[in-house]
Chains A and B, each alone.
Chain A
Amino acid sequence: MAYVSKSENSYITTSLLAGIRADGRSPTDYRNISLEIGVVPVANGSARARVGETEVVAAIKLEVEDVGEGENEGRDGGRVLCHVSCTPSAYPHHSLSALDELSDELSSLLQSILSHTLTPSEQLTLVPGKKAWFISLDALILSDAGNAHDALFIAARAALWDLRIPYTRGIEFDIKDGEVVVGDSEGIGRMIGRKRTVDFELPDLLDDGVPLEGRDSLPVCISLNLLPPTHFLDASLQEEQSVLSRLLLFFSFPQPSPTSTLYGTRFIGPNELPFNMLKPLVKDGEKYARELAEALNKKLKQEESQVSAPMSAFG
């Protein structure tokens, strides 16, 4: 279903080349981002993000699994599985098979980026060689008014920020004088090398758990919509239909160093990109990503320090 006519397309692109957008934003302005964590109390971590009218909800469930060799078995350092569902309410004109395809694309994107950033992590090992955590992150795109990629990653990142891993303690069995003694091994999953740990226990059932290590440096996604010689951010639905070429960059900023890590790039679109434009785009993308990451971190810290629970998450 076509959403823009040729003359609208031409109007939007010529306006963008002059730096004017339909709603008065500048080319590097994002629409208002609204972020809420802890929206799904029954999940181990959850968040809801809105960029303009685009809305994504992400939630994480933790499971313990046995370490093994197969693809669906656990491994030391933890395992992550991400899935994104594009709801029919967000894409009313897509057929079911087109929805499935879109969901698969986004799932494999989220999976490939997050599996490299989250695993392997010592925090996710419970009993070395035997048991490890399995993080299952599911995201729902509730409505898409443009720029679903960035909103998806903002929600996933915030859900991972909100994630609490239950505090576990390793226990070991020992036989002394013919008697079985159950003793405590110290520390949580940091027991690679402790020879006797065979199981774990939850010392405090009411404890929420500890946050994910390195959550400050989770990756952000910046979509640069390419309209040579310029680019712009956070496209609305009509802008996305008029300017089809995009470069997605996934940056992470490990604190406190000033360097950045690139966790992925994706190129989408029917137009080619002159080689000499790539470097400046990546540099600009890094700059935007750094600002976004800082703004997100600040907001998330603020959210956490407020102890109030939302009255009704979906009211």
Chain B
Amino acid sequence: MFTIVSPAPRGDDLEYTTTRHHPSVKDEIDMDIEEQGGEFGEGPSRLASPGETITSAQAFMRGHGTYVENEDLVSALTGTIERVNKLVSVRALKSRYNPEVGDLVVGRITEVGPRRWKVDANARQDAVLMLSSINLPGGVQRRKLESDELQMRNFFEEGDLLVAEVQAFFADGAMSLHTRSLKYGKLRNGHLVMVPPALVRRLKSHFYALPCGVDLILGLNGYIWVSKHVKQSEQEGEEGFDAEAVYSNKNDDIDVATRTAIARVSNIIRALARHSTPLTDVLLVEAYDWAIDQDISVKDLSAEETSEAMVAAITFRA
């Protein structure tokens, strides 16, 4: 019941050689850097720290994370140097989520305001969800009424989790979200896991159904929703879009096996995040299978040795 340990001694047991990638992803990234050897140093990824001169500014253009000083290109961040032809930029190892239009994010409502909601999406500013950007019950084309403005809490309340897409940006840089698809909206029947945003790559789809009966939504802002599987047919119910169902806070009945699977997947995600492994569905399925094969209990997955073994086993599978 109680495990009391001494804290690990601080020292040089952390290695910052490379971030680990799944083999398929690794090839894509290494391609553009490997072309130019020489000026950028030996290895495929060179690190820079703030104030470190990268190269001369005459031959290259400066990108994000760099600035020009006395004809030199100087790094402004701690991170890896990236180069695309003549554009040099530095990508930080860990930073706040940088949103783009079209990104899928999972957010939490922090405030209810006049005709809008403020959403915390792990970005520099709270995102805004306008009342006109959500699906109102009674049909996708229903017009907004006065009474909707007064009853906004019937749709989303403080603390609610939702999945939405970035529609545009306001002048001050805040995101404007919309949930105008039946895939988006309020989240239920599951559990939120938070990981650093850099570990979630932009991929074709962010909705995954794992074979163990668990659905995943990988938000690009690092918020991952792990929930019970919802059948495809039930998801897209077009006519008579039922408000009670979509904006309800009531969970379905979830059996113990699914709950255990959700807990297991959450622990796997957290373990991978601790080892800075970028997350993809393929990786997660492999990790899950490995965990089942090795017959590891859910709790042990969060132990240091087990998670290290798991990460080692899956990232080196070619």
Contact = CB atoms under 8 A, between A and B. Distances in A.
* Complex: A in contact with B (CB within 8 Å): yes
A36 B3 CA distance: 14
B191 A22 contact: yes
B264 interface: yes
Contact of A292 (B2, B7, B270): B2
Contacts of B160: 5-7
Contacts of A36: 6-7
Interface residues of B, number: 42
Contact of B263 (A6, A24, A35): A24
Nearest to A26: B299
A75 interface: no
Contacts of B7: 34-36, 48, 50
A207 interface: no
Contacts of B4: 33-35, 295-296, 298-299
- Scoring A1, A5, A30, A310 by chain B CB atoms within 10 A of each residue's CB, the highest score goes to A5
B69 interface: no
Interface string B18-33: 0000000000000000
Given A32-B5, A291-B2, A11 B266 contact: no
A290 to B, nearest CB: 11
Interface of B: 1-7, 9-11, 108, 110, 157-161, 186-192, 249-251, 254, 256, 259-260, 263-264, 266-267, 270, 297-302
A33 B266 contact: no
A194 B78 CA distance: 68
A54 to B, nearest CB: 13
B267 to A, nearest CB: 6
A103 to B, nearest CB: 25
Contact of B1 (A4, A14, A28): A28
A10 B227 CA distance: 13
A42 interface: no
A10 B259 contact: no
Nearest to A29: B1
Given A10-B250, A21-B263, A5 B190 contact: no
